[in-house]
Structures are given as structure tokens and as C-alpha cells.
A = this chain, B = another copy of it.
Amino acid sequence: MDEKKFRKTIKDLRVAVAAIDVVLFTVKEDQLCVFLTSVDRPPHYKNLHGLPGGIIGVNENADQAAVRHLKEKTNITGIHIEQLYTFSDPERDQRSRAISIAYMALASVADIDQKEVAGGWFSIKKLPPLAYDHAEIITMGLERLRGKLTYTNIVANLVPKQFTLSELQDIHEIILGDKSDKRNFRKKVLASQIIKPVVGEFKKTVHKPAQLYTFS
């Protein structure tokens, strides 16, 4: 069966290609960034960028496919990943009917200090032109991240194992896009018991050393 006939058959039989896409966020250099790869599939998608992703394999579920494709494209493993939303518009991929189960993944700067395989980091403030419906997927990932930031510990996945309170607050502010009061921030985060100081460990800088903390 040649590919064209195959696609026709697929359509007629009411099945679709099932894929995953991953919105991988990190905060680096005071920017919330997302990992993108190059997309160049003429005639529809030329000279664009897109999310890392790919087809769901025969004997894996969508979660496993997301982890696998993320590793293949970014060489990152062992990070937080969660299902985001499923995109199914018949026209979302002009080449064929494709359904994408989108994921959101979070990496700290410590997780990404490896050589990256196929792509790079883009600030969400300066995204390049994107293929398919990937702009929409990123928007939804951003909403999810912002929403969860205030009522969960999800920020734990964006900081290295040890971090200062200022670093933690910076990440909050960068993601939410507004400032918060230093004393109130520290009061709340310490009262919540989700972090604890690493006794005797300090971040040494040009000024006063800062206590390092870790998530409990």
C-alpha cells in the first residue's frame, strides 16, 4: 500500500495517527523558555519551529511515548511530565488526520546542562513562527503552569535540588509576570512546610551568602 492510499484508507476507516507533543518549560536567564525543534516539511510547513513529539508506539501508552520522544529530542530524562490536553481538529495537521495528546514537562537549569540533541530554548516572549497548532498548545501549557503555580508545589520541578529563597521567588515572578513582596513570600513558603533549609549550606556570592533550601 503506498502512502497516499494508506492515508485514504485511514481516513475512510475513521482512524487517525495518534501522536504526542511536549511543551517543555524551563526558567533560564530570567526568562521562561520552551524547547523547540526545527520543522521543515514542504509544502505546508516550511522553515518553522515546533514542539518535540512524535507517534505513539504499538506497545506504549501516551505517557511512555512522551517520555521517550522527550528523551530522543532533548536528552533529558527523569523530569516532571503531565498530560495537558488533547488536540484533535481535523485540520490541525494539513498532511493527514492526526490527533495529538499534549504534555507539559518541567526542567530545572540543572536538568538541562547536557548537550541538546535537536533543538533549543526560546523565551515565551519571543517565539518563532510555529507549525501546526503548536502555538495554541504552548498557550495552554502556559495557562496550566501559571494556574498550578499558586495552589501546588509544581515549582519544585523548576528549581535545582538546592536553591535560595530569592531564586525561588524569581522563578515565581518570571512565570506569573508580576512582583511579590519579599517578606510575605518567604513567610508563606516557609509556613507551608514544603521546603526546608539545608543546614550549613549557603550560596556564596559577591555579597551576603544566602541560605540554601530544598523541597521536603
Contact = CB atoms under 8 A, between A and B. Distances in A.
Interface of A: 6, 10-18, 55-63, 83, 85-86, 88-90, 97, 99, 101
A101 B18 CA distance: 11
Contact of A15 (B12, B15, B85): B15
- One complex includes copies of this chain to the number of 2
Contacts of A15: 10, 15-18
Contacts of A11: 58
Given A13-B6, A58-B12, A85-B83, A18 B99 contact: yes
A180 to B, nearest CB: 20
Nearest to A100: B86
A204 B98 CA distance: 54
A61 to B, nearest CB: 5
Q: Lowest 9 A-B CB distances belong to which pairs?
A: A62-B88, A86-B86, A61-B88, A16-B18, A61-B89, A86-B101, A14-B55, A15-B15, A18-B99
